[in-house]
């Protein structure tokens, strides 16, 4: 898949986007993010379409979905400390586009939308600790470590990153 350029924009996720996401397959070690939704696809599509979770498609200038994000509790992982008030952001980029240097423009569009439309005071990301590419990207945008934990029952180690909603980065 070719992506037009690095000028991305967000729009509320449509059902066709949700079905597309269910087919994504990441290579190892990122296969951790692959869906195991085969038996409950309708349930997951309904979750993607739940307005409280604020899922959005990230599109290129041709309208091709290059990824998605959520704003709210979907960005949290069971076991983490989410007692501070913050806007949680969940993120997924189309697997064939990862590792190609598109992350800064992709995340920049998501961050710009959150700051410009949702007016949070604090932004929060929860990232699997092995995902060094994502951790480096988010730290380049001014996010700082707030803690780490092991999710249960998977025992995967996660880091929580936060950033004030100022416009630096």
The CA-based diameter of the chain, rounded to the nearest angstrom, is 43
Flag whether 26 is in a domain: yes
Number of domains in the chain: 1
Does the pLDDT at position 39 exceed 50?
yes
Q: What is the CATH number of the domain that holds 66?
A: 3.40.630.30
Can you give the chain as a three-state secondary structure string? CCCCCCCCEEEECCHHHHHHHCCCCCCCCHHHHCCCCCCCHHHHHHHHHCHHHCEEEEECCCCCEEEEEEECHHHCCCCCCCCCCCEEEEEEECHHHCCCCCHHHHHHHHHHHHHHHHCCCEEEEEEECCCHHHHHHHHHCCCEEEEEEECCCCCCEEEEEEEECCCCC
Q: Dig out the tokens for 74 from the structure.
A: 């979907």
Residue 30 has pLDDT above 80, yes or no: no
Residue 156 forms part of a structural domain: no
Any domain includes 148: no
The pLDDT of residue 11 is 94
pTM of the model: 0.87
In the structure, what pLDDT confidence band is assigned to residue 46 with cuts at 50, 70 and 90? confident
> 22 forms bridges with which residues in the sheet?
none
Cis amide leading into 153 (omega within 30):
yes
87 belongs to a structural domain = yes
Per the structure, the complete domain to which residue 79 belongs is given by: 9-125
Query: What's the pLDDT tens digit per position in 62-90?
Result: 999 999 999 999 999 888 999 999 999 99
Nearest to 10 by CA among 106, 102, 88, 137: 106
pLDDT for 121 beyond 80: yes
pLDDT in tens, 133-168: 999 999 999 999 999 998 876 778 999 999 998 755
Cα gap 151→79, rounded to integer Å: 5
Question: For position 99, what pLDDT does the model report?
Answer: 86
């Amino acid at each position: 898949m070719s992506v037009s350029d690095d000028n991305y924009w967000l729009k509320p996720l449509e059902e066709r986007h949700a079905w597309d996401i269910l087919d994504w397959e990441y290579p190892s070690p990122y296969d951790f993010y692959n869906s195991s939704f085969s038996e409950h696809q309708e349930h997951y599509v309904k979750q993607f379409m739940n307005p409280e979770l604020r899922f959005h498609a990230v599109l290129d200038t041709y309208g091709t979905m290059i990824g998605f994000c959520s704003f709210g509790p979907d960005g949290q992982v069971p076991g983490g400390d989410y007692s501070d008030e913050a806007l949680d952001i969940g993120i997924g980029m189309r697997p064939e586009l990862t590792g190609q240097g598109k992350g800064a423009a992709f995340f920049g569009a998501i961050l710009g939308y959150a700051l410009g439309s949702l007016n949070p005071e604090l932004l929060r990301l929860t990232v699997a600790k092995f995902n060094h590419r994502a951790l480096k990207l988010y730290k380049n945008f001014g996010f700082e470590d707030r803690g780490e934990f092991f999710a249960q029952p998977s025992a995967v180690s996660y880091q929580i990153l936060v950033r004030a909603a100022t416009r630096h980065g």
